[in-house]
Chain A
Amino acid sequence: MTLQPFLALGAILFGIGLFGALTRRNAIIVLISIEMMLNASNINLVAFSHFAVNVTIDGLVYALFNIALAGAEVAVGLAILLAIFRAKNSNDIRDMNSMKW
């Protein structure tokens, strides 16, 4: 195996996530799409670490940090979405514009 197929897979997964984040109306699905984009970056980190000239463990550590921060992001994001749902009774991303000027 070479490096390029893994980078290509990461790029395609990122593209799918970007399309979902731009088009979806349900706020939770937008959050899911962002998770997919983070996963694509994790694939790239691990692939670069695996195929480096001087193999180090650093890429795996970065990927683990990335996973931990993604978990924190999901927790806060879902809490905010639940609070908005309680206040507005809607999970449509177009209804979340009351702070827009």
Chain B
Amino acid sequence: MFFGVPITGATIAFFVLALIIIASGVFLMSLQKVMHMALALGGVFLGVAGIFFLLGADFVAVVQIMIYAGAITILMVFALTLTQTGDDTEPSGHIVHKVVAFLVSAVIVVAVLLTVKATPWPVGQVGVQPFGPNVVAEIGKAMFHVYTIPFELVSLVLTVALVGAAVIARKEEE
């Protein structure tokens, strides 16, 4: 027993992944060079993908790796290199500002943690693969039968956003 949690393979995997995520997040907030921050971001995203694998959500984990760890991290690196202004270190802000921001975040996190601890969560039948053997087929059915209209709306939003991004980022002609 470790903090009241039985030691199994899943528990060890969870603690290792949580350590990776939190350490990468703290590195992200403490590193000074922006390019190193982008690399730490990849660590956070890959750790979250590992958590999804642990929860039996294989498809979401693979999507997370492809879109977040692949596309968004690379996009951020491109944006960081395109908007470089000479010194690539982050200017340190006002100390009072940082202390207040830290206090606000800490109060919110502690309140959420206490609520999570105090709430009696209903416990269902938990298996290693609760979603069944073919998660992808289930997701496909849910998307195209139950969530058809939200799915179409998301595709519309994506199209509008990508066209809008191309228009905004285009160099204005004289």
Interface residues of A (CB under 8 A from B): 1-9, 11-20, 22-26, 28-29, 31-33, 35-36, 39, 42-43, 46-47, 49-55, 57-58, 60-61, 63-65, 67-76, 78-83, 85-86, 89-92
Q: Is the CB of A53 within 8 A of B122?
A: yes
**B14 touches which one: A1, A12, A19, A70 (CB < 8 A)?**
A1
Q: Is the CB of B60 within 8 A of A63?
A: yes
Q: For A76, what are the chain B residues with a Cβ–Cβ distance below 8 Å?
A: 161, 164-165, 168
Q: Does B1 reach chain A (CB closer than 8 Å)? A: no
**B166 touches which one: A12, A79, A91 (CB < 8 A)?**
A79
**For residue A91, which residue of chain B has the nearest CB?**
B83
Q: Is the CB of A74 within 8 A of B109?
A: no
In the docked arrangement, what's the CA distance between A50 and B91, Å? 42
In the docked arrangement, what's the CA distance between A23 and B28, Å? 12
What count of chain B residues pass the 8 Å CB interface test?
84
In the docked arrangement, what's the CA distance between A8 and B116, Å? 7
**For residue B61, which residue of chain A has the nearest CB?**
A46
Q: For B105, what are the chain A residues with a Cβ–Cβ distance below 8 Å?
A: 15-16, 18-19, 22
In the docked arrangement, what's the CA distance between A73 and B80, Å? 17
Q: Is the CB of B157 within 8 A of A25?
A: no
Q: Is the CB of A15 within 8 A of B85?
A: no
**For residue A83, which residue of chain B has the nearest CB?**
B168
In the docked arrangement, what's the CA distance between A41 and B171, Å? 35
Q: Is the CB of B57 within 8 A of A63?
A: yes
Q: List 24 A-B contacts (CB under 8 A).
A: A3-B121, A4-B121, A5-B5, A6-B51, A9-B21, A9-B51, A11-B113, A15-B108, A23-B101, A25-B91, A28-B76, A28-B79, A35-B72, A52-B124, A60-B59, A65-B154, A71-B67, A75-B162, A76-B164, A78-B75, A80-B168, A82-B79, A82-B82, A83-B169
